[in-house]
Amino acid sequence: MSNILRNCFAEKDEGDIIKPMNENEQKIPLETFFTPAPGKGIVIFGATDQLDQNGQVKLGQKMTENILASFKGKVFLINPTRETVLGQKCYKNLSELEGRPDLSIVVTPAKTVPEIVEQCASAGIPSTVILSAGFEEVGEEGKKLAEEVKRIANGRTRIAGPNCFGVVGPDMNCTFSRGNPAVGNIGVISQSGGILSWLLDMDPESGMGISRAASTGSMLDVTWAEWLKSFGDDESTKTIAIYMEQLGKDSAGFIKTAREVSKKKMIVALKAGRTKESGKAAASHTGALVGNDAVYNEAFRHSGILRADTSEELFRLLKLSKQELPKGDRLAVITNGGGSAVLATDALVLAGGKLAELSPETISKLNTALPSTWSHGNPIDVIGDATPERYRVAIESALQDQGNDGVSVTHVPVAMSAPEDIANVIVESHKKYPSKPIFASFAGAKSVKGARKILIEAGIPVFSTTEAATKTFGVLSGRAKWLKHAEEHRLEPKLVIERTPEMEKADEILRVVRESGRTFLTEHESKEVFRAYGIPATETFIAGDENEAIVIAEKIGYPVVLKLNSTTLSHKTDVKGVVLNLRTQEEIKGAWSSIRNAINEKDFHGVAVQKMESGDGEEVLIGAKTDPSFGHVIVFGQGGTRTEYYKDTALSILPIDTTSAEDLMARTQIYKILKNGWRGSSSSDMSRLANILVAFSHFLETHPEVKEVDINPLIVLGDHMVALDARIILHEA
């Protein structure tokens, strides 16, 4: 809770003070949003059966109709202008009710909502759903109104919304959807009412249905983490679908909760807004490489959340709610079309899976049963005129083969085929060999409708394209890998790093720079900070004139590098402020003059002198950027002047330990070169490099004032590692 909220107090009508909720106080559970006790019931503020001025049904009427039709407990209607609504008694306000409802639904104009929330909070109603619009989405006045509602509620009644579509429980539809949704095991948390409405309208024949659903609206109160934990604790929910536009400030809680929930339930997220630019052009390599959408990708990967790229893919992945996970990533593909085999293979590999190698025994069986023109390998092309029996031999042979972890069966309709018989063969074969998952794809429309129904009823996922089936297997095998990794690797306890005098001096550098009004440190200052925190960097000395530069060079030994030292210019190479490989006093004098003459006097604060490193070793980038939702995000990858060209980088959210540092590095191409060497070069000490990343993570965790960081390049040669260039950018004070 922010300091602003801690200091917010409001007088109630009777003169009492609303005390701000202490952070350590137990928050009201969310269960009454979905399972209000029948004996306590639901109260609807704004219930009506009057049409609007255009003769249209009002939101309050549709909401009331849906609740009365679905909820078997008490339902109280409040409308001070009506005696009855839809034949049921109406109350003027909450005080007229006997008892306290578990859930309140608000569908009144925005300006009336603060008073209603006060009534609900004072009465001790645990959950309130505000469907009313007219808050943050309409501008500054609406934002003030939303803050007023939040201040009044203050945790005394939990709020879903405002400007939301409502909630759905196992025996309750508190939305304005068209009819009640099919009941199933999929829970939905959506930031969009329209997306939730679409998912609530699932075709019952798809075999999918809703266990519970929540429209978050503008999320005035309940956080993503709280919604997710509630759904994770619900036994009837087996799979969780998320539609997200922005996470907000709850990133740490969300990631921690998602990681725990993902271990027992599959979470599929559709994240919108992925092409929206997150800000102006960044001031560093790291800023240019780390986009907001890439950070969401990393957060979902880290948390075990499956990301859907489209609404169609979201729906497709939800079909997996009844599907067992494969034990590996090797797939046997069976098809009656050569083109389908090619498409299936592409989709499989791009999703992280791979084609299984058929055993000699399997090849022998198929040679006996299939036409001589079959593909004699995987994919198994059973030829276009394949009979159900031909499919049976191929499917059962693949299921018995220990060299694969799943089977995909594709059927394209031809005049000689029998789709429903083939579907029955798939079902029977799966019952006979249930240890491996089967994915079916029946291309076409009316001719395969019956076959699809057979598979759906048997709980076998069926798709309209072969790519969808094999991609789905790849996604599932990826989830299986994540679960195994999550079970084997627990994030190491947060490192306790003792403070040193060097760290105190480094923190003083940061403080002085910040208080001076500057937003970036010079290279010399940045390196001093990093060296203090255990990140190796070349020792750098500042020279005020050319004679001092010569003295320094003589002391540290030639060859040396001269770099512009400026507290106003951050990109030295852009202004020709770097001169390499200087070997004599005359060369230093020439470099000094070159740099000095290219820079305005106000931007010139001497030069930095450092030892010239040899050209051996690999150039690596280590950087960080502040994401608006996730805070500091680390980037690792290929460094040097062509970093942005190659874009061989990977991201990680904080914190990281040595294991997650190794995983971060392994997701880049340069990792293979570092670990194994390249064309005669020696391999690098990857443990030392991982420890540098952990030290870097510690620095970021202890310095929230840091906005961006670039260490580029970090030279890596065996166990020798040193940063040649470094920059720290701070948030504005």
Average pLDDT over residues 124-141: 93
State yes or no: pLDDT of 19 exceeds 60.
no
Poorest-pLDDT segment among 29-38, 314-323, 610-619, 625-634: 314-323
Task: Tell me the two tokens of residue 348.
Answer: 């499989």
Specify the higher pLDDT residue, 286 or 106: 106
pLDDT at residue 49 is higher than 80: yes
Q: What's the mean per-residue pLDDT of the chain?
A: 88
Alpha-carbon distance of 187 to 229, in angstroms, equals 12
Nearest to 112 by CA among 138, 91, 97, 134: 134
Q: Is residue 310 exposed (0-12), middle (13-18) or buried (19+ Cβ within 10 Å)?
A: exposed
Within 8 A by CB and 6+ apart from 321, the residues are 184, 185, 186, 208, 238, 239, 266
Interaxial angle between packed helices 311-318 and 466-488, expressed in degrees from 0 to 180 and rounded to the nearest 10: 70
Three-state secondary structure call for residue 332: strand
Cα(675)–Cα(684) distance, integer angstroms: 6
Q: Please tell me the predicted confidence (pLDDT) of residue 554.
A: 93
Among the ranges given (199-203, 553-557, 664-668, 688-692), the one the predictor scored with the smallest mean pLDDT: 199-203
Which has the closest alpha carbon to 426: 401, 376, 461? 461
Examine the pLDDT at 12 and tell me if it is beyond 60: no
For residue range 335-374, what is the model confidence (pLDDT) as tens digits?
998 899 999 999 999 999 999 999 999 999 999 999 999 9
**Statement: residue 386 has pLDDT above 60:** yes
* Distance in angstroms between the alpha carbons of the first and the last residue of the chain: 22
Among 483-497, 555-569, 637-651, where is mean pLDDT lowest? Answer: 483-497
pLDDT score of 417 more than 90: no
pLDDT digits (tens, 9 = 90+) for 522-552: 999 999 999 999 999 999 999 999 999 999 9
- State residue 588's pLDDT score: 92
Name all contacts of 482-491 with Cβ < 8 Å and 24+ positions apart. Answer: 482/262, 482/301, 482/304, 483/262, 483/263, 483/304, 483/325, 486/259, 486/262, 486/263, 486/304, 487/263, 489/659, 489/660, 491/655, 491/657, 491/659, 491/660
Q: At what angle do helices 449-457 and 419-432 cross, to 10 degrees?
A: 20
Confidence of residue 179 (pLDDT cuts 50, 70, 90): confident
pLDDT tens readout for residues 104-132 = 999 999 999 999 999 999 999 999 999 99
What element of type H or E holds 585? helix 585-598
**What pLDDT is recorded for position 279?**
35
Q: How far apart are CA 627 and CA 301, in angstroms?
A: 16
pLDDT category, 22, cuts 50, 70, 90? low
Residue matched to tokens 């760290």: 503
- DSSP 8-state assignment for residue 258: H
pLDDT of residue 100 exceeding 90, the answer is yes
Contacts of 674 (CB under 8 A, 6+ apart): 618, 620, 665, 683, 684, 686, 689, 716
How far CA 538 is from CA of 59, 471, 503, 568, in Å, comes to: 67, 47, 17, 22
Percent of the chain, pLDDT > 70?
Answer: 92
Token pair listed for 476: 């599932």
Alpha-carbon distances of 22 from 3, 19, 34, 614, 693, rounded to whole Å = 11, 9, 26, 58, 37
- So what's the pLDDT on residue 647? 83
Q: How confident is the model at residue 492 (pLDDT cuts 50, 70, 90)?
A: low
- Under 8 Å CB-to-CB from 27, ≥6 apart: which residues? 21, 155, 158, 226
Token digits of residue 532: 């203090």
Out of 15-24, 364-373, 655-664, pick the least confident. 15-24
The confidence score (pLDDT) of residue 680 equals: 63
Angle (nearest 5°) at CA 465 between 441 and 342: 100
298 Cβ partners below 8 Å, 6+ apart? 633, 651, 652, 653
Please give the pLDDT value at position 645: 75
Beta strands 607-611 and 540-543, pairing class: antiparallel
More confident: 322 or 688? 688
Per mean pLDDT, which range of 74-83, 430-439, 643-652 is the poorest?
A: 643-652
Token pair recorded at residue 48? 């009506």
Tell which residue, 365, 375, 372, has the closest CA to residue 338.
Answer: 375
Q: Is the pLDDT of residue 21 over 70?
A: no
pLDDT at position 439 over 60? yes
Model pTM above 0.85:
no
Most confident of 223-232, 268-277, 627-636, 643-652: 223-232
Whether the CB-CB separation of 348 and 354 falls below 8 Å is answered with yes
Alpha helix (H) residue ranges in 137-217: 140-153, 193-200
Q: Tell me the Ramachandran region of residue 579: left when phi exceeds 0, alpha when psi lies from -120 to 50, beta otherwise.
A: beta
- Read off the tokens for 545: 């004139």
Q: Alpha-carbon torsion 300, 305, 311, 312, what sign?
A: positive
Report pLDDT for 98: 86
Mean pLDDT of 51-59: 79
When mean pLDDT is compared across 246-260, 321-335, 480-494, 659-673, the lowest value belongs to 480-494
Q: How far apart are CA 49 and CA 401, in angstroms?
A: 64
List of residues 6+ apart from 204 with CB closer than 8 A: 182
In whole angstroms, give the CA distance from residue 348 to residue 354. Answer: 6
Q: Are 634 and 716 in contact (CB under 8 A)?
A: no
What is the 8-class DSSP label of residue 355?
E
Nearest Cα to 268, choosing from 311, 233, 214?
311
Count of other CB atoms within 10 angstroms of residue 247: 22
pLDDT at 324: 81
* pLDDT per residue as tens digits for the range 198-228: 999 987 777 789 999 999 999 999 999 999 9
pLDDT reading at 286 higher than 60: no
Residues 243-278: tens digit of each pLDDT: 998 887 778 889 999 999 999 999 999 998 776 443
User: Which domains does the chain possess?
Assistant: 1-165 (3.40.50.720), 181-275+282-322 (3.40.50.261), 324-475 (3.40.50.261), 501-611 (3.30.1490.20), 618-730 (3.30.470.20)
Amino acid identity, position 223: T
d(CA 213, CA 416): 45
